[in-house]
Amino acid sequence: MLRSLSLFLLAPLIGTAVFAQSATPGTLQGTSSATLNVKPDQVQLDVSVVTQANTAAQAGQQNATQTAAMIAALQQVVGNAGNIQTVGYSIYPRYNNAYGQNSVIIGYTAQNTVEVTAYDLTKAGPLIDAANQAGAGSVGGLTFGLQDPEPSHLQVLTLAAKQAQAHAAAIAAGLGAKAGAVISAVEATASPVYTVPGLVAGASATTPILTGTVSVSATVTVTVQLVQ
């Protein structure tokens, strides 16, 4: 379930601009990009259980038992402040690929992967430890993000739009003219939220994890009338 949290600015808003004269006669364009760094409010982790056996049925049965135990251990750490869901499952044969020999099946491997989402960032380390202690075959895909990036996205859009319009006005002034009414304003494809390394670690975690910040970016192109 999404929940709203206050976003703390960890770095100044960063804006960059590229200017281009519009192909439409009598108009001018200004393009600006802006980025906002904010504290994340959720952490995600991929955990897999891998088992091997002589038959597919045996591999699947062993995997089911170990996965159930691992999910129980993860759920105990997450509690009600997060969720766990399956994101991948497979059973596939293993072959004897020795040089000079025919390829034959020597067993089967089963893999079950779950994605854990926690809304308490201090749970990142304990989740890794719980997964390892419960027999996880692999732990990875650690990412920090926002449950609801839209408020930050709107802030960045506002900044980028204002900058783009101001830059168009400056270009018009340099040409001895003025920027008139805004004809259009277009947002480029939104940049994804991504993890930025930070210096804050979960103090209580056995496995130290750096939470850092996440960045939200937006680019806006504004087209204005060129008034002589």
Please write the tens of the pLDDT for every residue from 118-154: 999 999 999 999 999 999 999 998 999 999 999 999 9
| Choice between 8 and 227, residue whose per-residue pLDDT is larger | 227
- Sign of torsion, CA 165 166 172 175? negative
The mean pLDDT of 34-41, rounded to a whole number, is: 92
- Sign of torsion, CA 132 135 136 137? positive
Distance CA 166, CA 179 (A): 9
**162, 163, 165: which is closest to 182 by C-alpha?**
165
| pLDDT higher than 80, residue 167 | yes
How high is the pLDDT of residue 136?
Answer: 93
Which domains, ranges and CATH numbers included, belong to the chain?
A: 14-40+147-227 (3.30.110.170), 42-145 (3.30.70.2970)
Band (pLDDT 50/70/90 cuts) for residue 219 is very high
| pLDDT higher than 80, residue 117 | yes
How high is the pLDDT of residue 213?
Answer: 85
Band (pLDDT 50/70/90 cuts) for residue 102 is confident
| pLDDT higher than 50, residue 85 | yes
| pLDDT higher than 90, residue 66 | yes
pLDDT digits (tens, 9 = 90+) for 179-198: 999 999 999 876 556 554 44
Band (pLDDT 50/70/90 cuts) for residue 1 is very low
| Residue 45 near residue 77 (C-beta atoms within 8 A) | no
| Choice between 97 and 29, residue whose per-residue pLDDT is larger | 29
pTM value surpassing 0.85: no
